Amino acid sequence: MIIIPAIDLIEGKVVRLEQGDYKKVKVYSDYPADIAKQWRDKGAKLLHVVDLDGARTGELKNLKSAEKIVREAGIKIELGGGIRDSNSMKRVFDAGISIAVLGTSVLKDREFATSSLKEYSGYKIVFGIDTKGKDVLVEGWFESSGFDVNDLIKDFALMGLKRIIYTDITRDGMMSGPNLKGIKNILSLAELEVIASGGVSDIDDVKRLKELEKDGLIGAIIGKALYEGKIKLDEAIKEAK
């Protein structure tokens, strides 16, 4: 299982939100590339970068910051937030980003989602599923999509998707522990690789997630717990191996 540090961006700054609430923002750094180097030096092989401005507006807003992370830190990143069409997708890959994470666009433009999977084979495309209960949220977690997560996962598997990022937004930024029941449910629905996000608070949470590796969990995204010093990245990586 891989441990993936999160770097959330607002106006080029590294931030964390609580349950996706843009009114509850804490800024950790003005220099995302420096944070990326820090995680790289502690053993990270992949970073989860989210353009929160892009997720809210539907347009890429922090692509230059993401590109700078790749260029200066020399580490692979997956980028989500504001990738809504083929043009924005091309800009992302031209910037050196390794993986595009699609969220809102997957639900609002199924044709784009399908064509993206066909054009970019393998693991360059990941779908991000952000849930509150069974409800899947979109537009930076401001709107309900009207879709049930169970139905979506089965549909995505039929589309040829290989990997999803599953986030329980009620746990995100709260350090209250991951939603193990929800993760197990997602793993049971289809033969997809799953990366879990939201709620990881200490090394015991990493151990609990590691136990789900046999069921298809391949990774865990950790954010606030790293920034608050509740988890040491090198220890989490060692535990997850």
Catalytic residues: 8, 130
Give the span between the Cα atoms of 116 and 206, in whole angstroms: 32
Q: Residue 11 and residue 85: Cα distance in Å, rounded?
A: 22
Instruction: Return the bridge partners of 5, or none.
Output: 222
> How far apart are the C-alpha atoms of 195 and 221, rounded to whole Å?
7
User: Residues, the chain, total?
Assistant: 241
Residues 138, 145 contacting (CB under 8 angstroms): yes
The DSSP line for 135-198 is EEEETTTTEEEEEEHHHHHHHHHHHT--EEEEEETTTTTT-S---HHHHHHHHHHSS-EEEEES
Contact partners, residue 157, CB within 8 Å, separation at least 6: 189, 190, 191, 192
